[in-house]
Structures are given as structure tokens and as C-alpha cells.
Structure 1
């Protein structure tokens, strides 16, 4: 609830290496994700602006906190683990450790229709990573 009431990383970024926007037309949830990378390819700054229910806002805020300092590969692993957590898959102790405080969002699984709310910021992250990978290979 703290991340819903006091979301982190809401300040917009003008220049971003990674950017994505996701919208769920069924409920109106919306998230815009931007990140700047440092010279070594790690997230130096992140902006996550979300609108909608408390779940999307908390998930986006918590995800943004976990993104800082991570490489694209680490972000892909984080997103994979979070998606598996939301799908009810058993994670190893190491996987749970990687997720850190994000494990608290597993309570959302009790409300299957709300899982999409928790996953929307992660869908934006995965989309942004795909676009980043494409731009780096050109």
C-alpha cells in the first residue's frame, strides 16, 4: 500500500534509452516506462508513470525500484521470475531472493482477474527491452 500511496520514480525522463507504454482498455490501467542506461548498459535512471488501480501503481513503483542498476539481461530475468510468480509457479529460494520485495505482490494471485493489473508494468518492461534490443542490433 505504501507504493500505491507514495509511488516512486514518477518524475518524467525526457531522454530514454528504453521506453514503452501499455494500456488495458478493459479497466483503464495505463503505464509509461522510461529508463536511461549508463555507459555499461545498466539502468541509471527510471521513470514509471501509472494510472489506474492500486495494484498497477504499486507494481509499477516496486518494479521501478528494482530496475535501478540492473542490466538488460538482469531485467529480463526479473520480469520472467515475476511473471512466473504471478502465474503461481513454484520459485526457488534464489528466484524469490531476486524478486526481493516484489514477492509481496503474490497476494494478487488470490484475485485472478487482477493479475493483469500487476503484470501490465512488466509487459511494458518486456516491450521496452525488445525495442532496445532491436535498436542495438541495427
Structure 2
């Protein structure tokens, strides 16, 4: 199987069968993210322990396959991390999408989210891919924006 086909299947699986889609009971942080250019609209919910570990991450909302798959993959990646680790993953993801990060070892840290690497060649889809990641950065950097 060709690697691009495998990546398409990973994205498709996260879009059709998202593990982290739903409404979380008693989240610690919650923030809505919108991509008006294509209609993606998500609400990211994070449960953070007293010692700063992201214990759970969920999203609700609608959007294109890329936005939905990306936020689901992101949730997989950040559960079990602390704020700094989650923000570093987001920085790596943004760098990959912008084409600034090309080092395979660095990109491998993104696990399945690395499947979105080719989005960097599709400018119209970049905002879709980064919506969940930007929303996560925003709520972690600015918890005063919490919508709970």
C-alpha cells in the first residue's frame, strides 16, 4: 500500500469514527473554534487535573473531513500531556503544516497527525487542519477565555 493511501485511510477513519467527539461532562476548559472560510465549527473541551495533566479531550461540532480528523488526532496526542507538552505538539504540527518543519523525527512525534502533512500543499485546507490545534493553543495560553 502506498503511504499516501495509508494517510488517506487514517484521516478517513478519524473523520468517520472519531474517538473523541461528544460532549464532556464537567470539562475544566472549553472554547469554541470557528473557521468561517469553510464552515468548520468545533467546541473543544479539556479536563485538566490539579497537577496540570490533560486527562481528557473531546470536541463537538461539525466541519469537513480534514478539520474533524485533525482535532480527533490532536485529542489522541494531548491526553496524558501537560500544557507545555501539548503546546509543543501544537507548535510542531503548525510547523509541519506551514512547511517549516521537515525533519521526519520531529514530525513522527505527531503520530497519526503526521498523516496531514500533505495539507501543507493545499492552502485552502490549512485552516481546516489547524482549527483544533489553534483552539487548543488559545484555551491553554488564555484560560480567561474559558466558555464554561
Q: Could you tell me the TM-score, scaled by structure 2's length?
A: 0.83
| Distance (Å, rounded) in 2 between the aligned partners of 1:15 and 1:68 | 16
Aligned to 1:67: 78
1:36 counterpart residue number: 47
Q: CA RMSD in A?
A: 1.6
1:12 aligns with 2:18: no
Alpha-carbon distance, 1:6 to partner = 0.4
How many aligned residue pairs are there? 134
Contact 2:70–2:129, Cα closer than 8 Å, also in 1? yes
Q: Say yes or no: does 1:83 pair with 2:91.
A: no
TM-score of the two chains, using structure 1 as the length reference: 0.89
Find out whether 1:110 has 2:130 as its counterpart: no
73-82 or 89-98: which moved more? 89-98
Measured after TM superposition, the shift of residue 93 of structure 1 is 4.1
Aligned twin of 1:55: 66
Give CA deviations for 1:57-91 in whole Å, capped at 9, x if unaligned.
10011011111101000011011000000001134
Q: How far apart in 2 are the matches of 1:96 and 1:109?
A: 13
Decide whether the 8 Å contact of 1:50 with 1:60 is kept in 2. no
Gaps of 5+ in 2: 1-11
Could you give the per-residue CA deviations for residues 17-58 of structure 1, whole angstroms, max 9, x where no partner exists? 222111122211111101111232111111112311100010
After TM superposition, give the deviation of residue 98 of structure 1 in Å.
1.8
Higher mean C-alpha deviation, range 45-54 or range 92-101: 92-101
Where does the alignment leave 5 or more consecutive residues of structure 1 unmatched?
Answer: none
